[in-house]
Structure 1
Amino acid sequence: MTENAWAYGASAGYPVGTNLAGWRVEANDGHIGKVDKHSEDVGDAYLVVDTGVWIFGKEVLLPASTVTRVDVEEHTVHVGLTKEQIKNAPEFHSDKHLADRQYREEIALYYREGGPFGGGPSPV
């Protein structure tokens, strides 16, 4: 992950200005859902992923730094996480959490290696 959890890494290949809504999202160990919404704001970039029936309709907020590769031809976003890490992520409700800075800090900690929720990027 990058130093700033809320920024795309240079190697992710995110083409600035690309609308990722509706794109497939793949974890290290398989498909996890589709991008419901995203932000590319500097220092505040993220994906909201609808996991559908995989984890009973739960939405998850993924900091942009979790994105390892954007495949423009396949309309697929790859994240450096496992399904289990995403499944165990703190609950997300867009109407409640998008503007909540404390929640965003909690999410950033979760996805950092050794985070309090057992998260962190898996070795690639």
Structure 2
Amino acid sequence: METVWTGPARLDRSLDDDVIGYGVEAPDGSVGTVIRLSPVPGFDHLVIDAGVWKFGRSVVVPAGMVTAVDDAERVIRVRCTKDQIKDAPRFERDQDTGDLFYLRGLGAYYESLTATPG
């Protein structure tokens, strides 16, 4: 079963340390650059330096939001928009990415984006 924390099985590669430095593109534009990956098993995610777009802050995007990895262009594409990423629970640059309380809230937010109305 795929969750927001698990990269899609349709990708022909895993998200590993060689994607650090890749750009991240939402459907409506650039989000920033991958600066690190999750150290927490079961909560795979990208930590992205969003630069001036997000006032110098980092943002976190779960691996399940990734739709493609283009190694030739060094770009990761995600399905959520820039506004959806901006509206996610705020991540502080010095925050521990292993904070399970934060990760659960973040997961709930992104799962709400992928839920289909019944």
User: Which band: TM-score by shorter chain?
Assistant: 0.7 to 0.9
Given that residues 40 and 98 in structure 2 are in contact (C-alpha distance below 8 angstroms), is that contact kept between their aligned partners in structure 1? Answer: no
Deviations 1:4-40 (A, max 9, x none): 2211111233346451111000001111110011138
Gaps of 5+ in 1: 114-119
CA distance in 2, matches of 1:68, 1:15: 12
TM-score (norm 1): 0.81
Amino acid at match of 1:56: F
Given that residues 7 and 44 in structure 2 are in contact (C-alpha distance below 8 angstroms), is that contact kept between their aligned partners in structure 1? Answer: yes
Q: Name the CA shift for 1:112/1:36 in 2 (closer, same or farther; >3 Å).
A: same
Equivalence map 1:100-119=2 (5 Å): 100-113=99-112
CA distance in 2, matches of 1:74, 1:41: 28
Amino acid at match of 2:23: R
Give the superposed CA RMSD.
2.3
CA distance in 2, matches of 1:15, 1:3: 14
Match of 2:48 in 1: 49
Q: Do residues 98 (structure 1) and 97 (structure 2) align?
A: yes
CA distance in 1, matches of 2:15, 2:54: 30
Gaps of 5+ in 2: none
Amino acid at match of 2:102: Y
Amino acid at match of 1:109: A
Deviation at 1:87, TM superposition (A): 1.2
Match of 1:8 in 2: 7
TM-score (norm 2): 0.85
CA distance in 2, matches of 1:59, 1:106: 17
Match of 1:61 in 2: 60
Match of 2:29 in 1: 30
Percent identity for Structure 1 against Structure 2: 37
Amino acid at match of 1:57: G
